[in-house]
A and B are shown apart, each in its own frame.
Chain A
Amino acid sequence: MNFDDTPQEAEFRATARAWIDANAPKQYEEELRKSSLGRTVLKNANILEVAKAWQKKKADAGWACLHWPKEYGGRGASPIERVIWQQEEGPFGQLSRMFIIGHGMCGPTVMAFAREEHKRTYLPPLASGEKVWCQLFSEPAGGSDVAGLRTRAEKDGDDWVINGQKIWTSGAHYSDYGILLTRTDPTVPKHKGLTMFFLDMKSPGVEVRPIKQASGASDFNEVYFTNVRIPDHQRLGEVGDGWNVSLTTLMNERSAIGAAVSTGFPELFEYCSSLMLDDSLAIEDRAVRSKLANWAVKASGLKYTSMRAISALSRGERPGPENSIGKLVAGSMIQDVATYALELQGAEGVVSGPEDAELAGRFQAMLLRAPGTRLEGGTDEIMRNIIAERVLGLPGDIRVDKDVPFNKIPTKGR
């Protein structure tokens, strides 16, 4: 049991560190280090531009999408090298956020299902951040039940004609391309009538409308499709096989391994170490200490669970299912942590917003962003189902719509 790199890993780490040290946009380091959930902003720069510039610089030097093959813009690195890179990139990794969906989900799907010429055309600019991709799966009628989606694709000559609406599309407003899951046959059971495509987001008939979230920010969009034409050669996988294609997309969400999840704990510990309650420091209060200790062991538990997964990668194994707990634990924890930090401030917690003093002001943004964390990328309830079914081997939910043609499934509760 040790935390040491192998000689090859140590060499890779040293190379990565030296390159980052010489090339990273250091002027933003402090701001990025201090950013926490719900608050990644740069005061004097457009974060999208800074992120794109950093990504391009990495790509030119062979440090983008490390685990992708070289011909598609990657480095052909091993999974453990990718983790080491993430560790070394540290706060600058915050700048990769806008590329996570493209690199983690769209890219691998295109790689698995697109024609060779498309892969060579579209993947390198995706890797370098010159083109940003989004993922168009969720719909008003298909959230956790994504296979319940209704956006239609109908064949017309060599094209498909798309009509419908997507929702919760992260980054659609700055995306150049998207992967799109559609219904091509509503007369068969829901999982069987789906087909996947990729499309140019500038295609005529695509309309992107930002959603104003409960937090007031707008990270997500609604995307409307009105007679949008997609050529058949942009189909990913067979007609009717879209569900299986989408499972490939979702299984590629392995990017989470090695990336630190936000729990809010370091911020709270730091805050309690300097906050005065009546005549003494918050951290000297018995009730505060008990709360802190309980969150501390969750945060460290997640950290070392991730280390165990990285160890499996280092041995060349596929990590076990342990890592699936990260989002489930961190999501509700950050919500509880933020609530408690405001609770400690008493009435003033209501008014200590982001413009307030550095420490106290962090928690309102966290509080308002946290509900989304518990919903996006699989709700807490879906995550529990996944753990129960895939890890513990419990039976799947009974699906009353399993064998029913999609157009016969009821659409209203009452």
Chain B
Amino acid sequence: MNFDFSDDQKQLRDQARKFLAEKCSPKAVRVVLDGKAPYDKELWKGLAEMGFLGVAIPEEFGGAGAGHLELCVIAEEMGRANAPVPFSSTVYLAAEALLIAGSDAQKKKWLPAIASGEAIGTLALFEGKGNPSPKNVKLTAANGALNGVKKPVADGAIADFAVVAARTGSSGRDSDISLFLVDLKAAGTEVKSLTNLDPTRGQAEITFKDCKAEPLGGAGEGWSILTEVLDRAAVLCAFEQVGGADRALEMGRDYALDRIAFGRQIGSFQAIKHMLADMYVSATLARSNSYYGAWALSTNAAELPEAAAAARISATQAFQHCAKNNIQVHGGMGFTWEFDCHMYYRRANAMALGLGSLTYWEDQLIDRMRKKNAA
């Protein structure tokens, strides 16, 4: 048994960590945070050159053809660095949707462009409040044209194309939903940037008005494809969250060692030590759950739905817990704009909502566990 990443994968992690330490310093993240750029274009280009954007895309579609374990490794480092690029929307959502359901022509058109950094993609699913559910999809598709409003769409303002969930039936079943592929540079869409909790990753509202769209996957198969896309993305996001949680824990630990109060390192007070120990516990549980998710994802195992939900819940909790208590360990300085703590706090709380909230995933996990027990 080797329930761990291979030596080659660990080497890839070291390479990614080194690259991001150089190209994605907190100072670079702040350029986007302060609204001076919608995302870090240089970093995006660099990620493409390193082969990271297409690491899980097959070679025939311009990728590195490595696999999802390698993508998990990169994802963890992206989270650690708080990278201000549209990685999750393009790579975990758009690319995975294409890999699962795209026609050969669609894959040929978009996947090489993703791997080379030329195209940014996203998933347009949500329409206001609420969690992923067929009944929350109101945007309609008829005669190859979409009408409706999607909000929020992650990285919608900088995306070149979107995978859009649309209503094509009214039976009340999952088969009412179909997916479409939309070139956002063509006519028929209106994009508005939205102010959001984590300015290092943009959010937008996209209005579709008689927008021409081509089907992605079969008619009525949208919801089952989406479910699989969300499961895969849940595992990949979990690795980003694990990376972020680890970094927040490290920041707290380092500060506790440096800061002197009452004549001693604050890390010598049990109140602080125990807070950090609990952060370590959450981060470790999340990492282990995420490893199981990675195994299920990479082997296309029947356990993926359950493993993905567990990884999602555990990693969301850990990142929120570590980011929140990192500020507490820092005291007043942690509450300043100048210190980096709030960037992880923002990212942790934004990521907790991006694929649907905890309530949604808790529900999914229990349903899936029951299904397994019944089988």
On A, residues with C-beta under 8 Å from B are: 1-5, 9, 269, 273, 283, 286, 289-290, 292-294, 296-298, 300-305, 307-308, 310-312, 314-315, 322, 325, 328-329, 381, 383-385, 387-389, 391-398
Q: How far does the Cβ of B12 sit from chain A's closest Cβ, in whole Å?
A: 14
Q: Which of B253, B268, B294 meets A397, CB within 8 Å?
A: B268
Q: Once the chains are docked, how many angstroms separate the CA of A307 from the CA of B256? A: 31
29 contacts between A and B (CB under 8 A): A1-B3, A2-B295, A4-B1, A5-B1, A283-B366, A293-B313, A296-B365, A297-B285, A297-B313, A297-B317, A302-B285, A304-B291, A307-B3, A308-B3, A310-B3, A311-B4, A314-B1, A322-B284, A325-B281, A381-B274, A385-B277, A388-B274, A388-B277, A392-B273, A392-B276, A394-B267, A395-B268, A396-B268, A398-B264
Q: Once the chains are docked, how many angstroms separate the CA of A70 from the CA of B86?
A: 60
CA A356 – CA B313 in complex, angstroms? 35
Chain B 288-316 interface mask (CB, 8 Å, partner A; 1/0): 11011011001100000000011001100
Q: Is the CB of A391 within 8 A of B280?
A: yes
A residues less than 8 Å from B264 (CB atoms): 395, 398
- How far is B275's CA from A384's CA once the two chains are assembled, in angstroms? 9
Dominant secondary structure of chain B at its interface with chain A: helix
Which A residues are CB-close (under 8 A) to B267? 388, 394-395
Q: Are B3 and A3 in contact (CB under 8 A)?
A: yes
With A1-B6, A1-B295, A289-B363 known, 7 other A-B pairs at CB within 8 A are A301-B314, A304-B288, A315-B2, A384-B274, A388-B267, A388-B273, A392-B277
Could you tell me if A293 and B1 are in contact, using CB atoms closer than 8 angstroms? no
- Give the 6 A-B residue pairs with the shortest CB-CB distance, closest first: A301-B285, A293-B362, A388-B273, A304-B288, A384-B277, A387-B277
CB distance from A408 to the nearest CB of B (A): 24
Q: Which residues of B contact A314 (CB under 8 A)?
A: 1-2
The chain B residue sitting closest to A304, CB to CB, is B288
Report the bound CA distance from A311 to B6 in whole Å: 11
Q: A384-B273, A388-B276, A388-B277 are in contact. Are A1 and B310 (CB under 8 A)?
A: no
- Residues on B lying within 8 angstroms of A by beta carbon are 1-6, 69, 249, 253, 256-257, 264-265, 267-268, 270, 272-274, 276-278, 280-281, 284-286, 288-289, 291-292, 294-295, 298-299, 309-310, 313-314, 317, 359, 361-363, 365-366, 369-370, 373
Of chain B, the residue at the smallest CB distance from A391 is B280
In Å, the complex CA distance between A393 and B250 comes to: 11
The minimal Cβ–Cβ distance linking A128 to chain B, given in whole angstroms, is 30
Q: Is the interface of A mostly helix, strand, loop or mixed?
A: helix
Are B359 and A290 neighbours in the complex by a CB distance under 8 Å?
yes
For residue B350, give the distance in angstroms from its CB to the closest CB of chain A. Answer: 21
Contact B253 A394 (CB under 8 A): yes
Flag if A273 contacts B292 (CB, 8 Å). no
**What are the residues of chain B within 8 A of A387 when measuring CB–CB?**
277, 280-281
| Chain B residue at minimal CB-CB distance from A6 | B1
Q: Chain B contacts of A302 at CB under 8 A?
A: 285, 288
Task: Point out the residue from B273, B295, B309 that lies within 8 Å of A385, measured CB to CB.
Answer: B273
How far apart are the CA atoms of A297 and B308 in the complex, in Å?
A: 11
The reply to whether A398 and B1 form a contact with Cβ atoms under 8 Å apart is: no
Are the C-beta atoms of B291 and A1 separated by less than 8 Å?
Answer: yes
A265–chain B nearest beta-carbon distance, Å = 11
In the docked arrangement, what's the CA distance between A312 and B3, Å? 9
Which of B249, B361, B370 gathers most chain A CB within 10 Å? Answer: B370
List the B side residues contacting A304 at CB < 8 Å.
3, 288-289, 291-292
| Cβ-closest chain A residue relative to B369 | A296
Q: Which residues of A contact B273 (CB under 8 A)?
A: 384-385, 388-389, 392, 394
Given contacts A300-B292, A304-B291, contact A397 B281 (CB under 8 A): no
Among A292, A311, A393, point to the contact of B2 (Cβ < 8 A). A311
- Nearest Cβ on chain B to A304's Cβ, whole angstroms: 4
A314 to B3, CA, bound (A): 10
A310 lies within 8 A of B278 (CB): no
**CA gap between A292 and B6 in the complex, in Å:** 33
Q: Given A304-B289, A325-B285, A388-B274, A394–B1 Cβ distance below 8 Å?
A: no
Interface pair B365/A293, CB less than 8 Å apart: yes
When chains A and B are docked, how far (Å) is the Cα of A9 from the Cα of B1? 9
Q: Which of B1, B5, B284 contacts A301 (CB 8 A)?
A: B284
CB of B75 to closest CB in A, whole Å: 15
Alpha-carbon distance A7/B4, docked complex (angstroms): 19
Cβ of A203 to closest chain B Cβ, rounded Å: 40
Chain B: minimal CB distance from A6 (Å) = 8
Please state if B288 and A308 are interface contacts (CB–CB under 8 Å): yes
Q: A369 to chain B: closest CB distance in Å?
A: 22
* A385 CA to B366 CA, complexed, in Å: 34
B61 to chain A, nearest CB (A): 24
A297 touches B2 (CB 8 A): no
Smallest beta-carbon distance B256→chain A, Å: 6
Contact indicator A290/B278 (Cβ below 8 Å)? no
Q: Write out the residue numbers on chain B whose beta carbons fall within 8 Å of the beta carbon of A289.
A: 362-363, 366
When chains A and B are docked, how far (Å) is the Cα of A283 from the Cα of B367? Answer: 9
Q: Is the CB of B373 within 8 A of A1?
A: no
Rounded to whole angstroms, the CA-CA distance of A56 and B215 in the bound complex is 69
CB distance from B255 to the nearest CB of A (A): 11
Give chain B nearest CB distance to A260 CB in angstroms: 14
Chain B minimum-CB-distance residue to A272: B366
Give Cα A2–Cα B294 distance, bound, in whole angstroms: 10
CB contact between A297 and one of B6, B310, B363, B373 (< 8 Å): that residue: B310
Residue pair A307, B1 in contact (C-beta under 8 Å): yes
Looking at the assembled complex, report how far the CB atom of B73 sits from the nearest CB atom of chain A, in whole angstroms.
Answer: 11
Partner among A2, A290, A300, A305 whose Cβ is within 8 Å of the Cβ of B284: A305
Q: How far is the CB of B284 from chain A (nearest CB, A)?
A: 5
A315 to B267 alpha-carbon distance, docked (Å): 34
List chain B residues, Cβ under 8 A from A329: 281, 285
A198 to B284, CA, bound (A): 39
Per the bound structure, the CA–CA distance linking A317 and B152 in Å amounts to 47
Given contacts A301-B286, A302-B285, contact A1 B268 (CB under 8 A): no
Assess whether A301 is in contact with B2, with CB atoms less than 8 Å apart.
no
Contact (Cβ within 8 A) B294 A1: yes
Which B residues touch A393, using CB under 8 A? 253, 257
Distance in Å from the Cβ of B194 to the closest Cβ of chain A? 29
Name the A residues within 8 Å of B69 (CB-CB): 1
Contact of B362 among A3, A4, A294, A325 (CB under 8 A): A294
- Closest Cβ of chain B: how far from A266's Cβ, in Å? 10
The minimal Cβ–Cβ distance linking A84 to chain B, given in whole angstroms, is 9
In the assembled complex, which residues on chain A have CB atoms less than 8 Å from the CB atom of B256?
A: 394
Residues of the B chain whose Cβ atoms lie less than 8 Å from the Cβ of A391:
277, 280
| A384 / chain B contacts, CB cutoff of 8 Å | 270, 273-274, 277-278
Minimum Cβ distance to chain B for residue A258 (Å): 11
Among residues of B, the one whose C-beta sits closest to the C-beta of A9 is B1
Central interface residue in B1, B274, B365, by most chain A CB within 10 Å: B1
